Structure formats: structure tokens, C-alpha cells
Amino acid sequence: MNFIWRFNAMELRDREFFIYRIGLGYIKYKEKDIILYIHEPTLEELYDAQDQYREAYQDALFNKIYTDEEMLEIMRDKGLWSDKEEAKLKGLPKEMEELKLKMYENVLRPDKVKNMRKHLRQVEKQHQDVATKRYIFESSTCEGYASYVRTTWKIEHCTRMKDGSVCDWSAINFNEIMNHYHENRLSETELREIAKTEPFRSIWHGGRKKVFNRSGLELTYEQKSLVMWSGLYDSLHESPDCPTDDVIQDDDLLDGWLTQQRRERESDRKKRAGEKYDMEADDIFIPAETPEEIENIQGLNDQGNDAVVKARHAQIQEAGEVKHADLIDVKRDLMMQANEQQVSSSKR
């Protein structure tokens, strides 16, 4: 019987086990007297597997199998997918990001963080459910078929006996081996835990980039993930604004901190970009051609100016057309200037 190990918090013995397994680059399968080694593909095997994907995709197109975009249109026509669900699929990740940010901002209020964490898990479940619905027919598309061909090719050519010889598939259930491989790969959460704890932290600091003795292209998914997260945790500890260890150890809180830092950097970049304009002027009109340019230009506004822009939009939408002098904020400013001038005149 093959057990799938998953932990809320890994014990040291479990972290050690996975470090060695990831380092070796294979997953072991045991069933009675059968022992197989499902290796991660070499660079050459990855190239061949991708070649299989391209050929399978072209074959599927030739046989008039739907692409993912075509399948999406069919789902819309049949009422199996809607614009509302599409917006939900795109919007929920942003909601999760906001929740993590708010959790970090309320880090000193544990009860509030606890409630938001519960809400976050619910939103993650909603996102998983809507994504499952969106891609329910993925296996019937060109992309899904090609992915299946690539995966089966890798399992078939990278599963070996202990002596390195190719296994005899006539005596082995292929689907069971493939399921075992997918079920035993570590999640991002588990890889983050390994990267930020012992013994991998000491191993990483001892070997750094040579810890797996492979080039970047040859690293497995799990190895690349450990390298990436280890590098991030290094940069955190070296930063003058390093968050507390409690935040670093909590993935949700750390994601919130990273979001805060990223937004502050983006805001600073946009403000620097706006320095070439006369930011002392009341109104600055900058032409924009794309949604990205509009977002960047809006980022030059502070919170007060954002409120003015929204108020102007609301007034124009309601009236249809408004002269500049009739804008509410402009009239208010003109009135204040007139009052100031009147006060100054009376003092003379």
C-alpha cells in the first residue's frame, strides 16, 4: 500500500526525508515485490517530451479537436460558463491578495487575523471550485490532449528499475504509477516550509547555488522552488525592513507583507515617472492609449486627488456634459480664492 504523506507542520524527520528525495530527483513506488523509481526528466528528456506535446497538439488540430478558446465559447453558448464566472475567476486572486494584506496590517490583532484567515480559506476554495468548472472539459481540448501525451511520455520513459533499466509496463498498472507520481509531489506550501526551516537552511547556506549540483535548466520543479524560496528568505533577512520571524514563518502574513512592499515600490516608481510633469499644476492631462497606461497615470494621484477624479466622473456621468468652471471642486476652489481675496482686501 502506498501512503501519501501530507502535514500541517512537518516534523524534522519528514523534512529530512523530502530533502533527500528532492535532491535525488525521483519518487519511489513500492507495491509488494515491485519497486520502481519515477525520475524527473533530464534536459534531453524534457526536450523530447515537449516535442511530443507539439506533435500531439498539431495532430489534435488536424483532427478538428477544439482549442481551449473554442471550448470556452461552446461553454458560453451552452450556458455552462458566464461573464460573471469569468470575472469571479479573475477577481478572486485579487481578493485573496487583499485579505493577506489586511491580515499583515492587523498582525497585532490576532482575533481579527484569525477571522480573516478563515475567510481567506473560503475564498481559496471558491477559486478552486470556479477554476475546476472553467477547465472541466480541458481533457477534450487540443491543449489538454497534448498535455496528457507529454505527461504519459515522461512517466513511461523516466520510470526505471533500481538498476536503471526500463520497467516492463506489461506487468504494471500505468495509471496507478502516474497517479502515485502526481499525488506525492509536494505542494508550494510544503516546499516553502522546507525552504525556511532546518535542516535545509543550513544545507542552503553551505552550498548555495550548487546545493543540487545542476544547472538552472536541469533543476526539477521542486528543486527550483526550493532555490527560489530560499533566495527570497535570504533577501528578507538581509533587508533593513525585514519583517518579524512570526511573519516570515506565516505564509499568509508574509504574502501580505510582500504585497505591501511591492505596492510601495510601484507607487514610488510611478511618482518618479511623474516628476517630469508640473505636479504643482491643478490639472495635468497626460494622453493614454492602453488600460495599462491609464492605470500608471492614475497611480500618479494621491488619495485626495483620486477622490476628486471620482467625484468629477460621477458629476459628468450624471449631467452628460460639464464645463470645467462648473465642476464642483473647481467652483469650490474658486469660491475659496474669492473669500481669501475679500478677507485680504478688508484688512487693508
Cis peptide bond prior to 199, omega within 30° of 0? yes
Instruction: Let me know: does 276 contact 285? Beta carbons within 8 Å.
Output: no
231-279 pLDDT per residue, tens: 999 999 998 999 999 999 999 999 999 999 999 999 888 888 766 655 5
142-154 pLDDT per residue, tens: 999 999 999 999 9
The SS3 assignment for 278 reads coil
Angle at 12 between CA 9 and CA 14, to 5 degrees: 75
Name the least confident of 73-77, 210-214, 254-258, 331-335.
331-335
Instruction: Let me know: does 166 contact 160? Beta carbons within 8 Å.
Output: yes
- Interhelix angle for 188-196 vs 200-207, to 10°? 70
Quick one: which of 30, 36, 5, 43 has its CA closest to 194? 5
63-113 pLDDT per residue, tens: 999 999 999 999 999 999 999 999 999 999 999 999 999 999 999 999 999
Instruction: Let me know: does 194 contact 157? Beta carbons within 8 Å.
Output: no
Residue 211 has which C-alpha cell?
546545493
165-184 pLDDT per residue, tens: 988 898 899 999 999 999 99
Determine if residue 239 is left, alpha or beta; phi over 0 gives left, psi from -120 to 50 gives alpha, anything else beta. beta
Quick one: which of 37, 340, 327 has its CA closest to 167? 37
Residue 215: predicted pLDDT: 79
Angle at 150 between CA 146 and CA 155, to 5 degrees: 150
Q: What is the pTM of this model?
A: 0.76
CA neighbours within 13 Å on the CB side: how many for 279? 12
Give strand pairing partners of 27. Answer: 38
Instruction: Please enumerate in sequence order all residues whose Cβ is within 8 A of that of 40, keeping only pairs 6 or more positions apart, or say none.
Output: 25, 26, 158, 220, 221
Instruction: Let me know: does 58 contact 100? Beta carbons within 8 Å.
Output: no
What's the rounded mean pLDDT across residues 137-142?
97
Residue 1: predicted pLDDT: 38
Question: How far apart are the C-alpha atoms of 18 and 4, rounded to whole Å?
Answer: 12
